[in-house]
Each structure stands twice: as C-alpha cells, then as structure tokens.
Structure 1
Amino acid sequence: MNENVKVVFGLIGGLALFLYGMNSMSDALQKAAGEKMKKILEFLTKNPIMGALAGALVTAVLQSSSATTVMVIGFVSAGLMSLPQAISVIFGANIGTTMTAQLMAFKISDYIYPLIFIGFMLNFLGKKEKVKNIGMVIFSFGLLFEGIEIMGSVMKPLAGSPIFVDLMGKVSSVPVLGVVLGAVMTLVVQSSSATIAVLQSFASQAGPDGVSSVIGLTGAIPILLGDNIGTTITALLASIGQSKDAKRTAIAHSFFNITGTCVFIWIIPWFAQFIRYISPKGNEIDVISRQIANAHTTFNVVCTLVWLPLIPIMVKIVTTIIRGEDKNTGVVYEPKYLDNKVIDQPVAAMYLVSQELENLAGFAVHMLNSLKGSLNQKKTSAAYEKFKNQLDIVQHLQEEITDYITKLFSSGNLTELQSEQTAGLLYVTNNIERIADRCQDIDSIWMKIQDDGMSFSEEAGKEIENCIDVLLSLLRQAMTAVKQGSEEEAELVFKNKKKLHKAEKKFNKAHLNRVKNQKCDPAMTGYFSGILYNLDRAADNCVSIAEEALDNQGYVKLGEAARNFATPSAVVEAV
C-alpha cells in the first residue's frame, strides 16, 4: 500500500477510535455521575462565578464544550436561564474543555492495554450498574489513548517530509495561517478536543534535528487558538431557529474566543515563553504535549477571568448584534421547553421534560376552567371555542412530551434510577391526557344534549360546576404532590377524591328527585349521570398522579430554577 495512503488511513482510523472513546467515556461518565450531575447543574441558577464553575464541571463530564453550549442554548431558548447566567456557563465550559488536553498530555502508552482490559472486565462482569459504568469509563479512556497512539505513529513519516516541514514553518512564521488551519480542522471534525489531540500528537514528533518538535510551541499555539474559534460553530448552528437570547448566547461564545485570539496572537512569543516556564522541563518533543495543554488551559482561564466581571458589557454587545425581542405568536401549540439537541444529556433533558409537564398541567387546569364556562353554552359560542382550543393543546402537548420521553429512553443514556424517574413522568403525562379524554367525552355528551334541543336545569348546572371545581382542586393538589414529593398533598388528593365520589351519588339522587317533582326532563338522566361519571373517572386519574409522589417519583429540579406549579400567566393570556 502507498505510504501516503497508510498515513491517511492511520489518521482517520486513529481519529475515529479517539472520537468513539471520548463519546463513550462521556456517556459512561454521565451515567456514573448520576444524581451528582443534577447537583452540578444546580449551580447554573446561582451567581456568575458558580455558573462558570458549573460550566467547567459539566464540560469535564461531557468531554465537550459544544455539548455544554448546546444544552445551555436549549435552557435559554426555553426561558429557564437568563442570558447573563448562560454566558457565565459558556465561559466555564471553555475551561472545562481543556481537561481533555491535560489528560492527553500524560504518557501512559505502556498502560493502555491493561486499562482497556480492566475496563472491559469491569463492564463485562460487573453486576451493579455503577460498576459497569465505571468499567466503561476506563475502557473508553484506554481506547481514546489508543487512538492517540495510532495517530502519533502514522505521523512520524510526515515529520520527516521536507514539504510538510516547510508548511509548518510557514504556519509558525505567519500565525494567522495557523489560526485558520485550526478553525477549519475543528469545523470539519466538530470537536476541538480531537483536533488538539491531533496537534499534541503531531507536535510530539521530532523535526530534522531529532530533538526539537517538528512544529514547536510557537507554531502550535496559533493552531490551538484556531481550534477554540472553530468549536463555536457548533453552538452557532444549534442556535438556528431558537430564541433571540439563544442566538446571543451562541454569539457570546464566538465573541469570547475570537477576542481572546485577537489579543493572544500578538503576544505568542511571550505567551510561549511563559508556558515553557510553568511547564515541565526536558527535551521539547517530550514535554510539548503538556505545554500545549497548559497553553490551552491558560488561554481559557485568562479570558474567563477578564470577561467574568465584564458580563454586562458582553450582554450589551450581543444584544446590539441581535436586536429586538421575540415575537409572541399567540396560541402556544408547540412545546415550550423540549429541545431534541439536549437528548444526549439525560439530567438536562429530564429537567426540560419536568418543565414541559408543568406547562401541560397549567393548560389542563385552564382546560377544566374553560369546560366549566362552556357548559350550557352553544357550540358556536366563544366560551365553547376556548374550551376546544385548550383541549387540542393538552392533547397535542401530551403527544409531544411522550415522543420526547421515548427518544430519551431510546438514546440508551439513562441509568436505572433515571429510567424509573422518566417512566414516572410519562405516567403523569398520560394521566393528564386521560383527564383531557374525559373532558372530550363530556363534550360529546353535551353535543348530544344540544342536538336533542335540551339543556340542564339551573340546579343541575351548578352541581356539575361544583364537581369540576373539586376536580380542579384535585389536579392542583396532585401536581403539587408530584412536584414536591409531598405525601401530605397526596393524602389530601385521596381524601378529597372520596368527597367527589360522595357528591356524585348525592347529585344523582338530587336529579332523580327533580325528575320526580317534574323539575327536570327524565331524558336528561343518562346525560347528567354520564357527565358526573366522567368527572369521577378524571378524579381517579388525579389519584394515579398523586400515587407517583408516594413512589418517590417527581419533577427533576435544578435548585431555584424549578418554578412553582401554576397556570402559566403568559399561556392564559395567549389562549
């Protein structure tokens, strides 16, 4: 096989192994971290310093600043995070992504295969999920380094190529070329960690003198700076079609790296001298991998320290670039919080599901209120149209949430505990949808009453309204029980359900007395009892929701960001 073809195949094969190892390690780390990921994400709602710390920790787990940025953009677009909070997290993400380069700088080539074997055995033989996840982390870590070793070995012929050495010389003397090269590489691979790993492997190859690096630290730094710019493209793409604040968050990510690069590109010789001073001493080819990692970390830490107190200025800059506010399009049929780009981050995705479930419950409350107002109204009335509109929204949102949860399960990233929690959220969602079905059955009964030219007596109408009020109270109490994990609220639901059942029997008897006294049409008996029966069944669904609280199932909350359950005011006004 041609030598050049071998080099190309080795590079793409090693890169594929590296990316697979990094992605597998990210998935396994998330599963191993489990509930700790939730605690890390809680920092997102606090001050900028805590936000930056959270961004760094989350990115260290996800092994990708792009993944963190996409998640943050989803939160901002859903209105769950403010623009200043998001920007602070983005700053931290830039620091967190440097941890991969620091890991790559370790010389563990003699231990790669033992690591792969130990990781495989733990994952293969482990009985507990946590042990299996830890095994996958170790196994993936070994694969990641094996990919680096493969790329390093096939790059040795390049290091001796006069053409390639001349090209690297031009990059060293014209830093802008290095920046462009780094940005393009990251844009193609979609991972700054991967391109920096390639850079570390190549820089570790000896030049013609056999001692110095083929590219040197001053030649590597511009490419590294370009890598930081290239990684922001993913965030910009993720912001397409999102809210204006989401677009501003993506632009802030780009602006952060571009401004840093514009400053550091002028001080590369002094910057390289500082990095050599703080890095281990020795032959350049032996220490340059660590030097590149330190340069990457130092660049992002310095930029973060400079920009962190200047977040208000960054906000003004990005709001000047993206002007105006998002338009209110009226009735909200589509999910407000769900974001498919966050599916691969289970804790964040479950949090968004919880928020969307709260949104759904708010619509369900409003639907029941509209049902009460539409009874004894003609099907052409505004009140009836409002009820039908609410019913359609609840049913549509339930389908969207169910579809999202299905994708979350099929991603394969959920731990056993997360699977149980998500199944609980799905169960609550389905019960809200069944309440909507009961309302639809009541609507069908009302249509038959109108078609027969009949109507309820004033007493019957008040009794039905009374039952709907009890049902509204049950739904609110059930959702509060689930959100807060409150057994007390759940017990209230069980107690008040019995009251509704007694009221149903009482009102049916009252109706029969009215029929006996010729105050109600006997033909209305089946209709009246049918409506009360459906309300009683809807109350059973509220009981089923409350039972989830007793099974320790509930919303996935991230500190202060989880809002109190209430009908969303914006939704009420819109509909």
Structure 2
Amino acid sequence: MDIAINLIGGLGLFLYGMSLMGDGLQKSAGDKLKKIVELLTSNIIIGVFVGALVTAVIQSSSATTVMVVGFVNAGIMQLSQAIGVIMGANIGTTVTAQLVSFNLDGLAPITLGIGIVLYLFASNGKIKNIAEILLGFGILFTGMEFMKDAVEPLAEFKGFTDALISFGQRPLLGLLLGIGITAIVQSSSASMGILIALAAQGIIPLSSALPILYGQNIGTCVTSLISSVGANRNAKRAAIMHLLFNIIGTVIFLIFLNKPIIAIVTKIDPSDVARQLANTHTLFNIVSVIILLPFAKFIVKLSMMIIPEGMEEKKEETYLDERILETPSIAFGNTVKETLKMANLSKECLNNSMNGFLNKSQKYIDKTIENEKSIKNLQINLLSYLLKLSKTSITTELVEDVDNLFNTINDLKRIGDHCENISELAEIAIQKDAEISEDGVKEIYEMYEKVKQNCEDIINVIKDKDTTIANKIIHTEEQVNKIEKSIRRNHIYRLNNDDCKIDAGILYLDLITNLERISDHCANVAKRVLN
C-alpha cells in the first residue's frame, strides 16, 4: 500500500511539474508559438518540425494532437497538414523522457530554490515565466525521484520482477500493459517516467520494457480519440491518423527492428537501462517518421476509408474550439479570426439596414434582422470562449489583449443593435409611406459613406492592429460628428420652410443618431489600438 501511495504521489508531482514547466515555456514563447503554427503550409516536412517544436514547448504530444483535432474541426488545417504535425508531435514528446532519464538528483533542489526566489521577488512577467519553467523542472525531477524510491522495494518481490521479465517473451501482454497505463494517466511522458523509474532500479530489463514502451505510444492516442467525439468527420480522421501512425510504427519495430534497436541503444549506453529506454523512445519516433513520411498520403487515405464520406449534420464553421485552449496564444489568434467574422457581419448589417431604409425594401430589412441574430450568437460564443481562455495560463500581455477584445466584441454587438434600430425605422417609413426630401437623402448618403468606411476600416484594425488606419477612423469619426451637426441645422431649416414633413423628419433624426453612434463604436475599437 505504501508503494502505491508513494508512486501516486510521485506521479502527481511529475505531472504537475510537467504542466508547470509547459505553462512557463508557453508563456515565454507567446506569439512565437503562434507564428510557428502559422508556418504550416501544404509542406508536410515543415509540419513535422512544427509538431516537434510545439510539443517540446507544451510538453505533451497528447495536447498537440488534441489541438490538431481542434484545428481540423475548425477548418484551419487540412488532413495533409495534420499528418505532418502529428508525426512531429511524437518526436517532440521524447524530450521529457530524455530529460528524466538523466541522473540529475542534485540539480532539482537548485532549480527549485532559484525558481522560488525568482517567482516571489521578481516583478517582471518574463522573469516570472522563467521562474515557472525552473519550478516545473525541479518538481518534475522531484516527482521522478519519488517514483524511483517508491518502486525500489519491488525489486525484492520475485513474483513482480518475474512478471515484468515475462513481457520479453510475451510482447503482446507488454504492449497491452503500456496501452492501459498510458490510457489511464493520459500522458505518455508520465507512463514513460514510471517505466524509467523501474528500469533505473534494475527491476525491468530492456527487452521486457520495450513492448511496454511501444504500447505507451499507442495508448497516448486515446486522448485525441476522446477529443474527436462530437467533432466533424475530418477531425475524427485526424485522431485516427494519430492511431494508425503509432500502430504501424509499433508493428514495424516489434517484427523487424526490435533486435537492431536493442543492439544500437546498448552500444550507445551499455550499463544504464534508463538511458537505453529514453534513447529507444527517441529512435522509435524518429525512425517511424522517416519510414512512414513517404506514405503519409496513404495514411490519410486509410483514415478516410475508416471514416468514410456520408451524410452528416452541417455545422457552422467556427474557429472557437476548446481543444485549442491548450495553447492560449493560438486560441487567442483564433478568437480574433472569429471576431473578424463578427466585424464583417456588422458591416453587412449596416449596408442591409441602410438599403432597407433608403429603398423601403422589406427584403433588406429581413436580411438585417438575420445579420443581427448572427451577430448576437457570435457575441455569446466569443465572450464565453474568452472567459474560458482568461482562466488558462496566459501572459500579462495576453490578459490585456483579451480584455480589449471583450470590449471590441461588445462594440460590434452595439453596431448590430443600431443597425436593427435603422431597420425598424425603415419598417415605419414603409408603413407611413414617409418621404425624405432630396436634400435630406443627399446628406444621409454623405454621412452613410463615412460611417460605412469606418465599418470597413475596423476590420483591418482588428486584424492587424494598424495604427495608421486607427488614426484614419478617428479622423473620419470627427467628420461624421461635424456632418451630423450640419444635418441637424439643415433639417431644422427645412422643417421651418415646410420642405420636410414632421413624420419623415423624426425618422430622419433617429436615423442620423444611429449612424453617428455606429461611428462612435468604430472609434472605440480604433482608440484601443492606439492606447
């Protein structure tokens, strides 16, 4: 019982340390990580490098493949790109195993001490991120030592050691054990840590450990398979590709490469079984990628055969996928993309509402109402997603960006509200057959063109944070305010001279008020960029 408790405690520290180190690395990488993922093209080799780099940063191949499933589900990534990233993720995950296989007992307390001092006394966000990396590193190795100490008494239980040794003669059982352990702990790095702890104490020989190691590579696919439940067909195929890659690699190694790999790692490090295991893990994934990379298209086709085309419920494409929250900087980038959809809808909503008013068209009024409903739904989904994102491990800079986007989304929603008001004015104009004077129509067009330009410009401001365009919006907003004041004066003059009817005049004033407020909300978005 004591062995189990100590092993679970060590495993908990290991997982927490890995998570903390990954969070610190993510925060330090920030936008760089986002740019790395944006490098993705149809070039599969670039995808392999990206997958390896991202996994090395976030310290989890499962998290990377879950993120890939999210990208495919959102339509951001094609299957031909996903297969490269999945292959690379398997290489990136070997970093943790390599780290823990070294005997760094004396280094863990030092990194913990330095990390704690930096975290407590540093005010700079970047230094705090480095502190998190050091703390995670120290806790990771402390957990590893706990696991080594926990399993040490098992060496005295002959039945246990004989059972482990038997896996060398019964590789299928070892394979199933590896799959089971990894599926339970949801981390191939953690299950690899347990295996290395057993090897470091001399409890399990290399020949018996290898089938378990191969099984761990298959077991790590469980996370991505679970994450694909409820996703579209392509996302399911991405998860299946991950499983296929690891199964095919395992079959190749078990049948053809097991003896050669034992010979190679034993020659590299004859006496240290922990190092032999870590090197096997690395070689397994690198060699599997080299062998299977030329057949990537066939793996994609095979996944499409397993998940064939068929009737499926049409889902509205969205960039908001909770799987991508594993990497906050990328999740935020996708939120901006979804916000751009909202900004484009707001512009479309303005044009439809004005066409409804100026042309007295019920068709455009109905379109405006549809636009406004879509804008409202986007606002609800975006704010909910941003709330979840704000609860993840995000940098101080990203906190500010998230706050700004919250306000921008609300401004876009208010633009939709004012467009709905204009459509209601259009309906009243149709019911009362209200006619606006020719001069009044010209003034409306002049103001509308300025407001429409601002609605178009905020799209680029949201996308690129372009300060030049932001300043242009502020300038245009000042012009809109002047035009509004001029229109009001001219309208009063026309009313006094009976050139405009009272009913039409009220609608006219309400219209220019809504247009001016739309321009105000555009200016709010621009000011956030300038500030």
Give the aligned partner of residue 494 of structure 1: 474
Check if 1:133 corresponds to 2:161. no
1:555 aligns with none
Matching residue's letter, 1:223 = I
**Aligned 8 A contact 1:377 1:384 in 2:** no
Cα distance in structure 1, aligned partners of 2:45 and 2:314: 35
Kept in 1, the 8 Å contact 2:354–2:423? The answer is no
- Equivalent residues of 1:204, 1:289 under 8 A apart: yes
CA distance in 2, matches of 1:225, 1:85: 25
Give the aligned partner of residue 62 of structure 2. Answer: 66
SS in 1 for 2:326: coil
| Alpha-carbon distance, 1:448 to partner | 5.2
1:234-292 CA distance string (max 9 Å, x none)? 11111122222211111111110000111111132232112212x2233xxxx111111
Pairing 1:366-515 to 2, within 5 Å after superposition: 366-375=348-357, 381-411=362-392, 413-446=393-426, 453-457=432-436, 459=438, 460=440, 463-464=443-444, 466-515=446-495
Distance 2:211 2:437 in 1: 81
Q: Matches of 2:274 and 2:68 in 1, distance apart?
A: 31
CA shift digits 1:406-425 (9 cap, x unpaired): 221122x1111122222232
Q: In 1, Cα distance between the equivalents of 2:209 and 2:106? A: 26
Is the Cα–Cα contact under 8 Å of residues 42 and 80 in structure 2 kept in the other structure?
no
Distance 2:80 2:311 in 1: 17
AA matched with 2:285 = N
How has the CA–CA distance of structure 1 residues 118 and 68 changed in structure 2, closer, same or farther, with 3 Å as cutoff? Answer: same
* Aligned pairs, number: 529
Work out the CA distance in 2 between the residues paired with 1:132 and 1:488. Answer: 34
User: Are the equivalent residues in 2 in contact too, given 1:229–1:254 (CA < 8 A)?
Assistant: yes
Distance 1:280 1:187 in 2: 30
Aligned Cα root-mean-square deviation (Å): 2.2
Paired residue type of 1:272 = I
Q: 1:55 to 1:545 in 2, by over 3 A?
A: same
- Please name the residue that 1:311 is paired with: 296
Name which of 246, 250, 253 aligns with 1:261.
Answer: 250
User: Superposition pairs for residues 77-156 of structure 1, below 5 Å?
Assistant: 77-156=73-152
By how many angstroms is 1:498 displaced? 3.4
Out of 12, 27, 30, the residue aligned to residue 16 of structure 1 is 12
Check conservation: 1:376, 1:455, Cα contact below 8 A: no
Q: Which of these residues, 317, 320, 336, is aligned with residue 354 of structure 1?
A: 336
In structure 1, give the amino acid aligned to 2:435. Answer: F
- 164 and 321 in structure 1: CA distance in 2 versus 1, 3 angstrom threshold: same
Return closer, same or farther for 1:70/1:461 CA change in 2, 3 Å cut-off: farther
CA drift of 1:486 comes to 2.3
Q: Distance in 1 between matches of 2:159 and 2:219?
A: 26
Q: 2:305 aligns with which of 303, 316, 320?
A: 320
| Rounded Cα–Cα distance in structure 2 between residues aligned with 1:485 and 1:326 | 41
| Residues in 1 aligned to 2:12 and 2:447: alpha-carbon distance in whole angstroms | 62
Query: Structure 2 stretches of 5 or more lacking a match?
Result: none
Deviation at 1:224, TM superposition (A): 0.5
SS in 2 for 1:109: coil
| Per-residue Cα deviation, 1:381-424 (whole angstroms, up to 9, x for no partner) | 4432221111011122112212211221122x111112222223
> Contact 2:112 / 2:139 at 8 angstroms: preserved in 1?
yes
Aligned 1:514-529 pairs, distance under 5 A: 514-516=494-496, 518-529=498-509
1:43–1:276 Cα change, 3 Å: farther
Q: How many Å apart are 1:321 and its aligned residue?
A: 2.0
Contact 1:105–1:293 under 8 Å retained in 2: yes
Q: Which of 286, 289, 300 is residue 274 of structure 2 equivalent to?
A: 289
Letter of the structure 1 residue corresponding to residue 436 of structure 2: S
Aligned residue for 1:337, secondary structure, equals: coil
Moved runs in structure 1, 4+ residues, more than 6 A? 376-379
- The structure with the greater share of residues assigned to helix is 2
Identity %: 36
Cα distance, 1:129 vs structure 2? 1.5
Alignment of 1:534-573 (within 5 A): 534-551=514-531
| Other-structure match for 1:189 | 185
TM-score (norm 1): 0.87
Deviation of 1:528 after TM superposition, in Å, equals 1.2
- Verify: 1:276 aligned to 2:266, yes or no: yes
**Aligned with 1:173: secondary structure?**
coil
Distance of 2:24 and 2:112 partners within structure 1: 14
| Aligned-partner Cα distance in 2 for 1:272–1:477 | 62
Question: Structure 2 residue aligned with 1:252, among 222, 241, 244?
Answer: 241
Displacement after TM superposition at 1:205 (Å): 2.0
CA shift for structure 1 position 108: 1.1
How big is the shift at 1:52? 0.9
Q: Which residue of 1 aligns with 2:36?
A: 40
